[in-house]
Amino acid sequence: MDNHIKIFDTTLRDGEQSPGYSMNKPEKLRLALQLEKLGVDVIEAGFPIASDGDYETVKEIGKIIKKSTVAALCRTRDVDLERAVAAVQHAAKPRIHTFIATSDIHLKYKLQQTREQVLESAVRAVEYAKSHYDDVEFSAEDASRSDPDFLIEIFTAVIEAGATTINVPDTVGYALPWEYADLIKTLNENIPNIHKAVISVHCHNDLGLAVANSLMAVQNGARQIECTVNGIGERAGNASLEEVVMAIETRKNIMNYTTSINTKEIFPSSQMLSQITGKGVQPNKAIVGENAFAHEAGIHQHGVLKNPLTYEIMTPESVGLTCNKIVIGKHSGRFALCKKLEELGYFLEKEDLNRVYVKVTQLADEKKVVEDHDLVSILALMNNTPKKPSQKLASGG
């Protein structure tokens, strides 16, 4: 089996549906170009039936993107399909992504349809999409809460109708990793024509398991992961693109997979999204958070300064940062303080360093983080004269 994992980015569609993350046309075009630069295989550009603006935006993205596939999402309704087909008519690599719910709870309360009606609708939609474009994806919404036997039946039928990708969404983030792994394995082993299609997964993060579920799916036959930059999306969000990709990249000793992602564009992509939406990521966010490569604890600082591999499993440079960050606070040790002072041009003897260390820890108790200008002020006050970088304390020689 091919070990290349396609990265399907839905930041512009599912991500934008998250409250507060709506983007206008110029912003979407700008981000789409960055996603192509990042190296995503598929850009889900929007939901054309949602509004005239979304339709026009998907169409414009299709015109400017040359390397990535541009996908338009639609329900299995005729009006949705027609709108999606028209929206990607100018794309170099167009894809129609059509979906319908398959879980009994959705069939009963949302669709008010039988399984037979849903199956017929899915096949008809895929046939229509296939009559216009070769690349067709079908999603069984709420697959993780659907009857596996019905999933096998409907996926077999849509592949026969021309679907080249079948998506198995954990729409409400309900699945546990071993459950989801078992579902993907069951589908992979029991859909008779599965060799004609790629298995895709679209996991939500309601229980904080979206990335874990996506990786377990890959281990059991999935070859496309649907995700978003910064993990944005409905409710608690989607699988985080940066976490999925760097997990694969960092743990190649266990997961022998590849992606087309240029990992050095991960942090710039994250920053662009935050700047466009005005929504930053939490400081402890994996890979792209402010503290992802920051160290305050003295033991950690000592180790990282000696060899970054002691506390960093990937380099900051690998995701587009220039360096890690040594933060001076009450947990910092003398070794890190000494290195920080040397960066500022101050080379202290042991006795002077100890004196500065006491002052720094006292200040850190009051203001949590000691900035560079605080260190310069402490040195100046201790010697009663302003100090310039590259000067030593008088007592230090």
Q: Mean pLDDT of residues grouped by 10 in the chain (397 residues)?
A: 93 93 96 98 97 97 98 98 98 98 97 97 98 98 98 98 98 98 98 98 98 98 98 97 98 95 96 94 89 67 66 82 70 77 81 84 79 78 53 43
Encoding tokens for residue 286?
Answer: 């994996």
Nearest 10 degrees: Cα torsion 310, 314, 320, 324: -10
Class of domain 6-277: alpha beta
Residue ranges per structural domain of the chain: 6-277, 294-396
Chain centroid offset of residue 159 CA: 28
> Residue 333's pLDDT is what?
76
> Residue 73's pLDDT is what?
98
Chain centroid offset of residue 117 CA: 35
Q: How far apart are CA 382 and CA 397, in angstroms?
A: 15
| Per-residue exposure over 29-58, b if at least 16 CB sit within 10 Å of its own CB, e if not | bebbbbbbebbbbbbbbbbbbbeeebbebb
Q: Is the dihedral of CA 208, 198, 242, 181 positive or negative?
A: positive
Each residue's pLDDT tens digit, 299-310: 666 665 677 666
Q: How far apart are CA 3 and CA 223, in angstroms?
A: 7
> Residue 397's pLDDT is what?
35
pTM: 0.85
Each residue's pLDDT tens digit, 232-277: 999 999 999 999 999 999 999 999 999 999 999 999 999 999 999 9
Q: How far apart are CA 165 and CA 167, in angstroms?
A: 6
> Residue 295's pLDDT is what?
62
